[in-house]
Chain A
Amino acid sequence: METALATLLSPIILFFLLGLGAALLRSQTTVPEAFAKGLAIYLMMAIGLKGGVEMAKNPLTIEVVAVLIAGIILSFAIPVLAFAILRATTRLNATDAAAAAAHYGSISIVTFVAATDALERLGVEASGHLVAVAALMEAPAIISALVIISRMDRQPKDRASAMADADRGELVREVLLNASVVVLLGALFIGWIAGEEGTAGIAPFFTGLFQGVLCLFLLDMGLSAGRGLRNGWRQLGFGTIAFGLYMPVVSACIAAIIAWALGMPAADAALLITLTASASYIAVPAAMRLALPKARPSVYLTLSLGITFPFNVIFGIPLYIGMANFVAG
């Protein structure tokens, strides 16, 4: 309960709620697009550098590799489960269901950052390699969704008509070299190579300003989530909206079992659970517009950004920290 209250009353969540409320009340408040993109790059650099510096302090062990592999497997597997649930419980067609499922296998780096912040407020710090897990969990879900849709009858023909070789190259670049993956992994390696001493000179910029920038970004995320929800909720039936609320918890339970099996420390388990429970709203929507143009963005974006993201940030993170504490004993 204390964890939940501390998370809810942190400035970053309050700024998120401010943005969410403003957008739902049809306020014209906006954060300039280029500025928001700059904030996102700053946050990814900061979290990547921090993770890299932490990784440099410890050797790369078999346990770390096991967590990296677990993250990749989760990202591949969750869309299969999400697709099956969506097809069984909603009226979404196969293309919409596969596109939405991909979002739930991939991750939201902002949810990850908010969870890291919540842990730090509780006085615990997770291992740096969880940042690498985050980066590695971005893309496999997209591949899973494309495999699912290619196995559905009649659908491959639609997709093939849209995908010439050059387009396929563009999709591969979007999936493997999107800004999240490049900046996050790049900053992680830089932090790893430079270590604490090497990054001391830039630390004031990346750690001193971090909380303030996160507040700004969460304000923008609140505005985006509120607008998405306001414009798109009519496109979703009750079953689909419910999916956006229970699917993160289902994913979190699976990740909690894996964290328990791997014997992960509570803080690391909390971040793996949060990553698995989070849904992408940046890398996957872009990839879906290229790979599955017939899938409706109003369905998958509203689900991931308008429903699951606010749920995770407001209620999910305290729940996932609680689950992690439980499985870590």
Chain B
Amino acid sequence: MAETYAMKRIELIVERMAARRAGRVLQESGVTGYTVLPALEGYGNGQTWRRDADISGSSDMVAIVCVTSAEAASAALDNLAQLLAEQIGIVTVNDVQVLRPERF
């Protein structure tokens, strides 16, 4: 089995309008790359939401996924906490194993 290395995986589900801001926060925290995925529908804060229910798209949610070092993840979480004080969203962090640590 190939050797693997410990990294942190951050998953952020945030409103689309804050996605660019979240991306900047991740970059400034030392994260070298991230991927944005569309969210289709969900439930939270007592009500359901759907991607196609709001013609402005301003209520759309996206998921942002990145894998990074423990140091960068720590900095990113501090900065994301400030962002999420204002914008709708949640953030989770997992321990993951990666094959090529130099990419992160």
Asked whether any CB of chain B lies closer than 8 Å to the CB of A8, the reply is no
Q: How far is the CA of A290 from the CA of B58 in the complex (A)?
A: 9
Q: Does A281 contact B56, Cβ atoms closer than 8 Å?
A: yes
Contact string against B for A residues 284-299, beta-carbon threshold 8 Å, 1 for contact and 0 otherwise: 0110111001100110
Contact of A289 among B17, B82, B85 (CB under 8 A): B17
Binds B, one of A73-81, A186-194, A220-228: A220-228
Inter-chain contacts of B18 with A (CB < 8 A): 289-290, 293
**Chain A interface, DSSP helix/strand/loop, else mixed:** helix
Q: Does A36 contact B55, Cβ atoms closer than 8 Å?
A: yes
Inter-chain contacts of B85 with A (CB < 8 A): 161
Contact string against B for A residues 23-55, beta-carbon threshold 8 Å, 1 for contact and 0 otherwise: 000000011110010001000000000000000
Q: How far is the CA of A301 from the CA of B15 in the complex (A)?
A: 15
Q: Does A285 contact B54, Cβ atoms closer than 8 Å?
A: yes
Asked whether any CB of chain A lies closer than 8 Å to the CB of B100, the reply is no
Asked whether any CB of chain B lies closer than 8 Å to the CB of A196, the reply is no
Q: Does B57 contact A231, Cβ atoms closer than 8 Å?
A: no
Asked whether any CB of chain B lies closer than 8 Å to the CB of A162, the reply is yes
Q: How far is the CA of A33 from the CA of B56 in the complex (A)?
A: 11
Inter-chain contacts of B29 with A (CB < 8 A): none
Asked whether any CB of chain B lies closer than 8 Å to the CB of A167, the reply is yes
Contact of A231 among B21, B24, B52, B53 (CB under 8 A): B53
Asked whether any CB of chain A lies closer than 8 Å to the CB of B9, the reply is no
Q: Could you tell me the distance in whole angstroms from the C-beta of A185 to the nearest C-beta in chain B?
A: 19
Asked whether any CB of chain A lies closer than 8 Å to the CB of B69, the reply is no
Nearest CB to that of B47 among chain A residues? A231
Inter-chain contacts of A88 with B (CB < 8 A): none
Given contacts A162-B86, A289-B15, A290-B17, contact A297 B59 (CB under 8 A): yes
Q: Could you tell me the distance in whole angstroms from the C-beta of B40 to the nearest C-beta in chain A?
A: 10
Inter-chain contacts of A294 with B (CB < 8 A): 86
Q: Does A301 contact B59, Cβ atoms closer than 8 Å?
A: yes
Q: Could you tell me the distance in whole angstroms from the C-beta of A164 to the nearest C-beta in chain B?
A: 8
Number of interface residues of A (CB under 8 A): 32
Inter-chain contacts of B17 with A (CB < 8 A): 286, 289-290
Segment 46-104 of B: residues with Cβ below 8 Å from A? 47-59, 82, 85-88
Inter-chain contacts of A166 with B (CB < 8 A): 21, 24
Asked whether any CB of chain B lies closer than 8 Å to the CB of A170, the reply is yes
Q: Could you tell me the distance in whole angstroms from the C-beta of A166 to the nearest C-beta in chain B?
A: 6
Contact of A227 among B15, B20, B21, B53 (CB under 8 A): B53
Asked whether any CB of chain B lies closer than 8 Å to the CB of A183, the reply is no
Q: Does A224 contact B21, Cβ atoms closer than 8 Å?
A: no
Inter-chain contacts of A162 with B (CB < 8 A): 86-87
Inter-chain contacts of A170 with B (CB < 8 A): 20-21
Q: Report which B residues bind A (CB closer than 8 A).
A: 15, 17-18, 20-21, 24, 47-59, 82, 85-88
Q: Report which A residues bind B (CB closer than 8 A).
A: 30-33, 36, 40, 158, 161-162, 166-167, 170, 220-221, 224, 227-228, 231, 281-283, 285-286, 288-290, 293-294, 297-298, 301, 305
27 of the cross-chain contacts (CB-CB < 8 Å) are A32-B52, A33-B52, A33-B57, A40-B55, A161-B86, A166-B24, A167-B21, A170-B20, A170-B21, A220-B55, A224-B53, A224-B55, A227-B50, A231-B53, A282-B56, A285-B54, A289-B18, A289-B58, A289-B87, A290-B17, A293-B86, A294-B86, A297-B54, A297-B59, A298-B47, A301-B58, A305-B55
